[in-house]
Chain A
């Protein structure tokens, strides 16, 4: 069974700092997703990564995928308070599995 592990589960950062969230998965997959969830809200798609070495960037967030290592990273550059949310990675197609989520808090 496909398993998806994220770390850290909780992350408290100062504004302006950089940090990376990691997502490991247990079986081969040709696609990986990153989602954001604000408290009480639904999930918002951030990135779709389809190939080994894929890198996508949107604002202060950059996601990458290493299919050989079965690892994706979500890098946060110069964090701002608005980035506070829970971030999920997900792997698979119709049988998509989610990681436990990383609850990010950015403090002034």
Chain B
């Protein structure tokens, strides 16, 4: 399977704990995106990378969120001191660099903070 892979698929954590998610993009894609989706809403942009450089981060993103893409391949998204409001589907996507390119999404990681 050469699609975008996310791990884990589901995560239940207690409030205040830290969680980390992993995303493996399509191998030839140099752009990688993180989005968050809650019920009844569309994906909300969090951040994106071109190779290992983090090019944009949403102003709405709390300092508790951090993302890395150390070697320009896989990426991790960490949430520190989780809150119940962090419960959502976290989606990773990747794309080629270009003016008009579409992103390919993974199946997402469902986070539940109890």
Q: Do the two shown chains form a genuine complex with each other?
A: no
